[in-house]
Amino acid sequence: MDLNLFISLLVRTISLGTPIALVGLGEGFSQKAGPLNLGIIGYLSLGAYVSWVMAYRLQNPWIATIMAMLAAGLLAAFVAFLVVTLNLSQIVVGVGVAFFAEGLVCLLTFIAWPNYLIPTSFNVGVFRTAGIPILREIPFIGEVLFGHHLFVYLMVGIAFLLHYIVNKTKFGLKLRAVGESTAASDAMGINVARIRYIVIIVSGMLCGLAASYMTLVRARAYVLGITGGVGFLALAAIVLGAWKSPRIVLAALLFGFVRSLHFLGQAQRWINIPSEVWQMLPYIVAIIVLMISSIRIGAEAPPELARTYIREDEA
């Protein structure tokens, strides 16, 4: 394999891994405090739509990204209302919201562009990737690591920020306590609902950011279902990353790598493996990863994951 191909494989690994990492970071943050958001699939669809429609209307990808984060955060806040305030099952609401958002985005896309005549990147203010000046000129390392869009480096920053918040701050201590034992935390006077609202909304906003990255940076295009698969792989990345931010990023990059193998398979005709096998490979890897993780770190999942908390009210 020649060097250029190898470089582009690694570049793809990072650019495909970044959205998985962003979603995994937010959702991992949320799971650490208990809430499981299957609705991330919905947040992503909505984020992708909003980023594209805003970038088209406003011709400004930055504002479009912020709008996408707000929209996904708003949907997440609705979910938080359902699962925290109304105590509905997180799994059922997650499935419901995924459905709802998918249908809604179909309708909204229809409203924005009747007959689904979606504008291409010529008419939309997408991001132009520049990378980091000077550094990107370094042979190999610069090409692999420093030619990316700012969002990639932002993702790394977010990973460390979340890691710091969870492990070094009072808020993080509370968050871990809530994920470990909600009843105890509640009795200690920790505002469980507030913490869960915050983490769910953060999870939503990072989905918005991930979706914006996918449309405005990576694909520079928008089609319905563009975010498919990313949410599911992010869920697996969290388990592989043992709910620790830096490890989640590495796990996401692993999935990015497996996904980019598809490209390698196409580029290298000599690898005679059908395209479908490349397509399903990330999910096979995910299952193997889940198996390995469960042997190695099975006990590390937050004990209150996916549980609704209802204050005991019994004579």
Partner 1 sequence: MGRKLLSELISTLIIIIIVMIAASLLFMLAGINPIEAIRLIIYGALGRTRGISESLIRAIPITLIGLSVTIAFRAGLWNVGGQGQFYAGAIGASFIALFFPMTRIIHLPLLFIAAFITGGIYAGIAGFLRAYMRVNEILSTLMLNFITLWLTQYLATGPWSDPGRIIVATAFFPDSARLNRLHDTVRVHQGLYLALLCVGIVFVILNYTVYGQKLKVLGANLTAAKYAKINIKKKIVTIFLLSGGFAGLAGAVEVSGVYYCLRNGAFPIEAGYGFIGIGAALMGMLTPVGTLISAVFFGILIAGSSYLKTVVDLHGHTVNFIIGLLIIGMVARHLFRPKIQKFLDKVLFGKKELTERGTSSGS
Partner 2 sequence: MSTSALAIEMRQIRKVYGRDVVANDGIDFDVKFGEVHCLLGENGAGKSTLMKILFGLVQADEGEIFINGNPVKFLSPSDAINGGIGMVHQQFKLVPSLTVLENIALGLNEKKLGKIESEFGRVCLEYDVDIDKNKKVKDLPAHEQQLVEILKLLCLGQKILIFDEPTSILVGEQIQQLLKRLKEWAKMGHAVVFISHKMNEVLEVGDRISVLRNGKKVACVEGDGIERDKLIELMVGEDFKEYKRGEEKDLSSAEKILQVDNLSVKNQENKFVLEDVSFSVREGEIFGIAGIQGNGQDALVEVITGTNPESIRITDGKIELEGINITGFTSSKIESKKIDLGYIPPKAKDIGVATTLSVKENLLLRGWSQYGNVFVNWRKLYKRADELIEKYNISVPSKEANVSTLSGGNRIKIILARELSRQTKLLVIFDPCTGLDVKSIEFFKKNLLELAKNNNTAILLVSNDLDLLFDVCDSLGVIFRGKVLPYQSSDGSFKMDEITNMMTGGE
Residues that bind partner 2 (CB under 8 A): 169-170, 173-174, 176-177, 180-181, 183-191, 311-315
Beta carbon of residue 80, minimum distance to partner 2 (angstroms, whole number):
18
Query: By C-beta, is 169 or 294 nearer to partner 1?
Result: 294
In angstroms, rounded to a whole number, what is the distance separating the alpha carbons of residues 19 and 152? Answer: 9
Beta carbon of residue 132, minimum distance to partner 1 (angstroms, whole number):
35
Instruction: Tell me 114's DSSP state.
Output: G
Beta carbon of residue 101, minimum distance to partner 1 (angstroms, whole number):
7
In angstroms, rounded to a whole number, what is the distance separating the alpha carbons of residues 161 and 241? Answer: 16
Q: What does 102 interact with, of partner 1, partner 2, none (CB < 5 to 8 A by kind)?
A: partner 1
Q: What does 101 interact with, of partner 2, partner 1, none (CB < 5 to 8 A by kind)?
A: partner 1
In angstroms, rounded to a whole number, what is the distance separating the alpha carbons of residues 36 and 98? Answer: 13
Residue 262 has φ and ψ, to the nearest 5°, of -55, -45
In angstroms, rounded to a whole number, what is the distance separating the alpha carbons of residues 77 and 197? Answer: 7
CA-based nearest residue to 19, from 231, 200, 247 = 231
Q: What does 277 interact with, of partner 2, partner 1, none (CB < 5 to 8 A by kind)?
A: partner 1
Do 266 and 180 meet the contact criterion of CB atoms below 8 Å apart?
A: no
Beta carbon of residue 168, minimum distance to partner 2 (angstroms, whole number):
9
In angstroms, rounded to a whole number, what is the distance separating the alpha carbons of residues 21 and 206? Answer: 10
Query: By C-beta, is 70 or 190 nearer to partner 2?
Result: 190
Do 166 and 45 meet the contact criterion of CB atoms below 8 Å apart?
A: no
Residue 302's CB: how many other CB atoms inside 10 A? 22
Say how far residue 69 (Cα) sits from the centre of its chain. Answer: 12
Query: By C-beta, is 16 or 239 nearer to partner 1?
Result: 239
Q: What does 98 interact with, of partner 1, partner 2, none (CB < 5 to 8 A by kind)?
A: partner 1
Beta carbon of residue 93, minimum distance to partner 1 (angstroms, whole number):
6
Beta carbon of residue 193, minimum distance to partner 2 (angstroms, whole number):
9
In angstroms, rounded to a whole number, what is the distance separating the alpha carbons of residues 308 and 88? Answer: 7
CA-based nearest residue to 49, from 205, 215, 209, 213 = 215
Q: Is 59 helix (H, G, I), strand (E, B) or coil?
A: coil
Beta carbon of residue 297, minimum distance to partner 1 (angstroms, whole number):
11
Query: By C-beta, is 44 or 175 nearer to partner 2?
Result: 175
Q: What does 232 interact with, of partner 2, partner 1, none (CB < 5 to 8 A by kind)?
A: partner 1
Beta carbon of residue 165, minimum distance to partner 2 (angstroms, whole number):
13
Q: What does 284 interact with, of partner 2, partner 1, none (CB < 5 to 8 A by kind)?
A: partner 1
Residue 165's CB: how many other CB atoms inside 10 A? 16
Residues that bind partner 1 (CB under 8 A): 36, 38, 42, 82, 86, 88-89, 91-93, 95-104, 106-107, 109-111, 115-116, 224, 229, 232, 235-236, 239, 274, 276-277, 279-280, 283-284, 286-287, 290-291, 294-295, 298, 301, 306
Q: What does 219 interact with, of partner 2, partner 1, none (CB < 5 to 8 A by kind)?
A: none
CA-based nearest residue to 39, from 235, 226, 238 = 235
